Structure 1
């Protein structure tokens, strides 16, 4: 996935980022969470709630303009606040791949990128680069929801399924319009 805005922010292509590049975002208000950038302190939980949250986050990016989730970075009011790092083991990668494949329809394409911490073997940042999907909208099929996720306040042109949820420009989920098939539009 290529994003000129994110590459300008990071100072490098996503696949060329170092641990220090990402760590350098701490305290940078220009690196605050946006429609195409989100931070997670830890790995997603393996509970149903954690699976749903992962599916929602990747579906929202794919249904809008694409973007990057950075796992291993804490944030305060959306601004990166602490480089924590996460385990970069196969177990977590396999579990995320399975969760995304089994809890989004159609499955959301993404590219995991490992950015190891040179001072702590086996840990670092995990980036999930999610391109804008030509197969959008992607539904979240994880219990308890079955809906489409997006990152804008408006549904994709011509696609307004019941229960669509979107993200506003601040990155917060807002309910989308709910239409009854028996009502005229």
Structure 2
């Protein structure tokens, strides 16, 4: 019946207008939900609250965080038979566009978070991976970032420069000679 009343040309226009309104509404909801408190956002949240709650968008996502969270990085040092130390940073070798990067990153995060459970196995695997260096020991390290501000970046410094990290030795493990 509606098809007889509204011409096809107008039906298509109304359909696209409706879809555009839905996308605009959802975009507005996604922008307003995590934004900082103000009179405007509080008024918008009052209007959008049922929609935000229905789709579980009523949470802070950190879009407007004043500071970026500090992180940590996994590194390890291989000491060879000659006493020379070789430092490796696995994150530098990862291709972020390949799915295995997630698995490898999560593996090292697990070693840092639960060293009692995973450090020995990780050290043994790294000893095998670097057998060509004739490793004597492997030292697993966690670098924890300290505060780093934009002024430091303007001075030409990097977040993982030695002055901006605390080094935590996770474990030093001997490599078996095989």
TM-score normalized by structure 1? 0.24
Higher RCO (C-alpha 8 Å, min separation 6) = 1
Q: Greater helix share, 1 or 2?
A: 2
Pair member with larger Rg = 2
